[in-house]
Amino acid sequence: MKNFRIVQEVRGVMTRFEPLTAEVLNTATNGEVTLPEVKAALESLGLDLEHVVHDPTRHNLSTFYADYQRGLYLELYLTSEYPQSISQVFTRILPKSGEAVPELDNQDWECFYLRRVPVPMAIYDFQQRYLELPAEQIFSIWYSIHKRIDYSNSMWQPKVLSYVFSLAPAAELPAADEDGLLHVLRVLLLSLIYFYNSGDTLSEADKQILVYFSLLHDLGRTSEDCDDDHGDASVAMIHARGIRVKGIRLSAKEYRIAELMIRLHCRDDQVGFDTIQAAPSLSKEDKERTCHLYRICKDMDGLDRVRFNGLDYRMLWTEYGRRLPLVAGCLLEESLLEAIDSELKIQRDSM
């Protein structure tokens, strides 16, 4: 019998939610599947056709079973081939008729959104359910969804974002000694000098990646000793504390690239390049871009080794970076914290 199968696969986000009609089904399957056949297959699993939604703008995974009340979501793929075992498989994993999925009953929100709600339906579910979620968990739940979706900013309703951010925990940055903070500021200034003066063809997103890296790359460092793992510790701290940098607007993929920079900046160069090339979520073009940004980040961080008299400019990767040691040395003489305090005072006085 012609029918459909359910597959576990993620392809972007659903933006339109139309009922699955006979006309839509005929177009989607070239007449190979009829609506009564779909209805019968669903009913054999104890499911109702009224919960099926379809997005005609999508080519892949355009049809979902979405029972919001039960927290039951299934990715539907219409085809004329229907494995005979599918009813038995889904009978074992589906909740009993009329019951909610266990994660929803137990209010285990992390598992619910990770295991039960397909990424294309996550924004749909959250924006209906957010007022029911525990206030102390709302930001972490939202962030776990947001970071998994490329280019999701415009898909969130303003009222939802306003509510989420009103409940966001205050960032608890570790107490930084003055030298550590000054190092961060010098790397930031060197990165901006590179961006604006090197002649390198970098995008605005590349600049934001450099800024993000500069501000957070040593967050997990606890001493000035050699520490190949403090990049990983920095990223772990960013995630654990939900740290966001005001003004940074990156896609989920670009955040992954920025975090790769942080993870790898303290590793051997070749280990970094090999890790980037092995990244499964990056295309060939993405990997070339990431390697280029990796070289810049390594150089801007490395330039501040002038404070130890430990910089060999010949070891820097970028041509323009090799022209900056004197600039890096001059930054050591600047009262950066006083300059920032003065600027903040000017801004406060003008408000």
CA angle 74, 32, 22 (to 5 degrees): 70
How many other CB atoms are there within 10 angstroms of residue 318's CB atom? 17
**Domain spans in the chain, listed from the N-terminal domain onward:** 3-166, 178-350
Q: Which of 44-58, 128-142, 235-249 has the lowest mean pLDDT?
A: 44-58
Reply yes or no on whether the pLDDT at 348 is more than 70: no
Q: Which tens digit of pLDDT belongs to each residue from 222-238? A: 877 777 889 999 999 99
C-beta pairs of 251-254 under 8 Å, 24+ apart in sequence: 251/150, 251/151, 251/205, 252/146, 252/147, 252/148, 252/149, 252/150, 252/151, 252/152, 253/150, 253/281, 253/282, 253/286, 254/205, 254/208, 254/209
Compute the mean pLDDT over every residue in the chain, rounded to the nearest whole number. 83
Higher pLDDT among residues 143 and 2, named by residue: 143
pTM tops 0.85: no
Read off the pLDDT of each residue in 19-36 and give the average, rounded to a whole number. Answer: 82
Instruction: Pick the closest to residue 292 from 231, 202, 169, 229 (CA basis).
Output: 202
Residue type, 143: Y
Read off the pLDDT of each residue in 247-270 and give the average, rounded to a whole number. Answer: 94
Q: Which tens digit of pLDDT belongs to each residue from 163-182? A: 998 998 875 544 545 678 89
How much is the pLDDT for 90? 57
